[in-house]
Amino acid sequence: MSIIQLYDTTLRDGAQQKGISFSVEDKLKIAQRLDELGIDFIEGGWPGSNPKDTEFFIKAARLRLNHATIVAFGSTRHSNCRAEEDANLKALLEARTEVVAIVGKSWDKQVTQVLETTLGENLNMITDSIAYLRANGLRVFFDAEHFFDGHSGNPEYALEVVIRAAKAGAECIVLCDTNGGTLPEQIVASVEAVRRVASTPLGIHAHNDIELAVANSLAAIRAGVNQVQGTINGYGERCGNANLCSIIPTLKLKMDIDCVANKQLSRLSDVSRYVSEIANLPPYDRLPYVGANAFSHKGGVHVSGLAKWEGSYQHINPELVGNRPHVIISELAGKRSIIYKAKERGLPLPGGKGIEKILKQIKLQEKQGFQYESAEASFDLLLYRAQSHYQPPFELVDFMVVVEKRRRLPSSGNQEEPLSEAIIKVKVGDKIVHTAAEGDGPVDALDQALRKALIQFHPNLTAVELTDYKVRILEETAGTASQVRVLIESSDGKEHWRTVGSSTNIIEASWLALTDSIEYWLIKQAGEKKF
């Protein structure tokens, strides 16, 4: 097991996930990142099945890859057809890759009920196709589709498929858990059975329909498999494929199989996020190793232990996979959580009993609907405000919001939309500023009025934009008197930050989150050392 080949099929199998559609350029960019990660084989798609995959192989030939080999995927010849006349096999030759992977049936029921041909003809389809591709100078991997179901139902035939594929010249025979329902002990038994009849290197291709794709892949490797297939982030049809972002670090860090270099492993989290961005899917925070929550700590006891010994609640050093520990502030936090988080974010700590006061404030406010784990800018402000010398850049005197439909026309001239107008009074230094502004809604009106009040003191405030606004009703049974949490995300084009507000009044909750957002940015602009 000292040498394990890493085979990525994100660009084909991963692209079969609902909601994913890679462009040719997307696939080329991902292939480049996979090469840098140390992947041995990158399955680019099925040439001839669609124009996009055909174009990919033309352009992929010009990629400057340092390690990986591009693989074209296809199937065996059709029944009752000569290999040299089969359009699918011709497309594989035209892809001009050094290696091709072809899929064939190894489950007798699939042969008779899906292919609607005989068991003997299926064996001929497999051997003819492999021999034809080998005769044309290609290296061939054979994917024994539905192998584990086939071996369970008709072991003699499934093993005969493997034997015939090996004799025809397949370089690697990949055992596929296509329906994703096999247990690890069944995987091991089937691999061992194959080992007794064939010496050809084996691969494992597992699907995740019962959440065992990674476990099954590792079990197969323990049983003697030489190649492991999977996708980045476990993308794939139905419940997905085996997740290479879990398999790779487990092989290297837990099983002492040196499948990638240390530097390549440290890129893993970055590759995971990169592929999710290209796929236009939000990163899944709970992914092992690479997810944002993989090394997150919320409980006060956990954080206290972590502060004393980083291995107390972490199974590896997160930096090995390009990740980092993350302390979450909530009502479950303790004093150690505040201290750890402050150091992590480079924030000042209050003296005396300031930490206890902040902790008490957090617990009280979370009971009232605030939540700081997704609003770290609001947490930062708690620490700044706890400093004895802190002077806020502005203070609210009062505000009023008016929403009207018919009394007078809005300045925009649009009579269909209600008019929202905010009137605010804030104190900046020793000056009282009184402004009013209209907006697309009450929150936008408040935002515009506050900016109008502050812009004369802070002209660069025009760079700040509200990029996201989320409202959550916390107690639905209370009806219109329910506690409301508002989460605002803001950006100045360089940085993104989130703030939170909570109240039984949605306007007040919005105001609290909005003013936190502006105050946080002004502190950053003024320089934290002043606070």
DSSP codes of every residue in 135-170: HTT-EEEEEEETHHHHHHH-HHHHHHHHHHHHHHT-
230-234, 270-274, 361-365: which has the minimum mean pLDDT?
361-365
181-195, 242-256, 285-299, 339-353: which has the minimum mean pLDDT?
339-353
Give me the sign of the Cα torsion angle 57, 58, 64, 66. Answer: positive
The structural domains of the chain, ordered by start, are 5-278 (3.20.20.70), 296-367 (no CATH), 368-392+463-531 (3.30.160.340), 394-457 (3.30.160)
Residue 424: other Cβ atoms inside 10 A: 24
3-state DSSP assignment of residue 211: coil
Q: What integer best gives the mean pLDDT of the chain?
A: 89
pLDDT at site 391:
87
- Alpha-carbon distance of 489 to 204, in angstroms, equals 43
User: Who contacts 221 (Cβ-Cβ below 8 Å, separation ≥6)?
Assistant: 1, 4, 204, 228, 251, 255, 257
Residue 9: C-alpha distances to residues 29, 223, 278, 392 (Å) = 14, 22, 15, 54
> Do 98 and 138 form a contact (C-beta atoms < 8 A)?
yes
- Judged against a pLDDT cut of 70, whether residue 316 lies above it is answered with yes
> Do 361 and 378 form a contact (C-beta atoms < 8 A)?
no
pLDDT digits (tens, 9 = 90+) for 61-93: 999 999 999 999 999 999 989 999 999 999 999
Which regions of 356-464 does DSSP assign to beta strands (E)? Answer: 395-404, 419-428, 431-439
pLDDT at site 205:
98
415 CB-contact burial (10 Å; exposed 0-12 / middle 13-18 / buried 19+): exposed
